[in-house]
Structure 1
Amino acid sequence: MLDLWHTGIVTKLIDETHNTRRFWIQVPDMDRFDFKPGQFVTLDLPIHEKKNKRWRSYSIASHPDGTNTFELVIVLLEGGAGSTYLFNEIKVGSELLLRGPQGVFVLPQPLDKELFLICTGTGIAPFRSMARYIHEHAVPHQPIHLIFGVRYAHDLLYAEEMKQLAQDLPGFNYIPTLSREENWAGRKGYVHAIYEEMLQDKRPANFFLCGWKAMIDEAKQRIQAMGYDRHDIHQELYG
């Protein structure tokens, strides 16, 4: 299954922010595209002769809904060959070669500890999938805290949807934090201060980290410095 490549058809595109785009991809040769929330797909893009330089992996942003369509949210990286191709060449109806789902960045079973979902940028994708899955399937859970760091308010992905989910899903807290926005009534600064503040009592918790390497490295260091075990920390690295 994992090594099989499938042809996906792009069925819908929406610009989510000034530099991110949502891609809906249908896999016609499958009745349903089954995956666990948190998993990713790999795209083979015609941007290099060498296979491993053509492959780009993206976390699935949608939750498994029984259809053969899934969603990715992708940021346009300056000088990034993969994202430049996807933004400039891919239209509705375009084909993409993909394989997956893959990955072990998935929810623990059962959800018997508080869950801290800590992300930056498009790192929110797997957490959106997880939170929506928990909501849709009424999965029993302890409190869940989605701590999402970006620079400015216009960089927040799925903001309205997450606010709504915080109302609809008991025990789900959405905590966007902005590092450079001046006129912002919510949390300012970086994600780390938030979980450190919330966990001064060192209660049992699971940490899921998704985003750029610098954020993940710092979070791992800080979480272990607070007295948590490295086995409480799960990560998905971007870039």
Structure 2
Amino acid sequence: MLRFGRLATSGGLVANSSGICGRSTGLTCNGSRCPSRALNNRKMTVAEDVVAPISIASTGHRTFCSRPEGFDLQADVSVVGIPDPITWIRCKVHLFLVDLYYDLGVNSDDFERGVKQAFVHISKTMSQGKYFQLIGMVSVEMIRYIEEKCRPLSEHRKLNLAVSMDDIILVLPEDVSVVFAPGRKFCTIAMRVWYLTALDGPDDPEGIKIFKVAPGKDGVPPKRVATAVYEFHRELTKGASENWMVTTIWHWNWNIKD
């Protein structure tokens, strides 16, 4: 069973920060404040801010998951496009190789469920402004970053940062890498999440590219499709801790202004 620090989860985790900025993710670099650049700068050093990181041990049990993996869409959501097939194939190959060489279980349904659990828990914690509860799951550097991003949001927008498991439409790997340093090696995996949100505002280009939500009934406004990118980092050096840390968090909702 996969465990995410104090939060029990049933999935594994992995991603690559290099290449996130400047791609279609919507992430942008802002000098030293860019979360991806900050991770790149830390890859050759010890993560000193890890307090109680994510511990992962994969099993075949299907827990904490109320519906099958894949395109199990809600009745009001339809598929209008497909993710970039080249990126998907490349990431699946990389995940397979990571599993083959390091036996991390990242190319499995358990891993995907773990990503969903982490996403739901972290998004809920952000919406409540209880950032201190993320210590040990999210790097201190990223906790400061998301607190800064959430501070100017209205209470309505903050509350709607929370995402339930039923609102998640699809999770796919976006980038995978293994980085080597003298005597050490690290694995990072970026996962993009497509989900439903009740927030008003402009459409997320990455969301409407693939999914469409049917008009609301009885005057109820329909939810919108939005995306988020979460990155997970772990050291693979022999004898190192078998824990994962969320090192990059990005939500489309941060771009919506009142």
Tell me if both proteins adopt one fold, taking TM over 0.5 as the criterion: no
TM score, norm. by length of structure 1: 0.27
User: Which of the two has greater strand per residue?
Assistant: 1
TM score, norm. by length of structure 2: 0.25
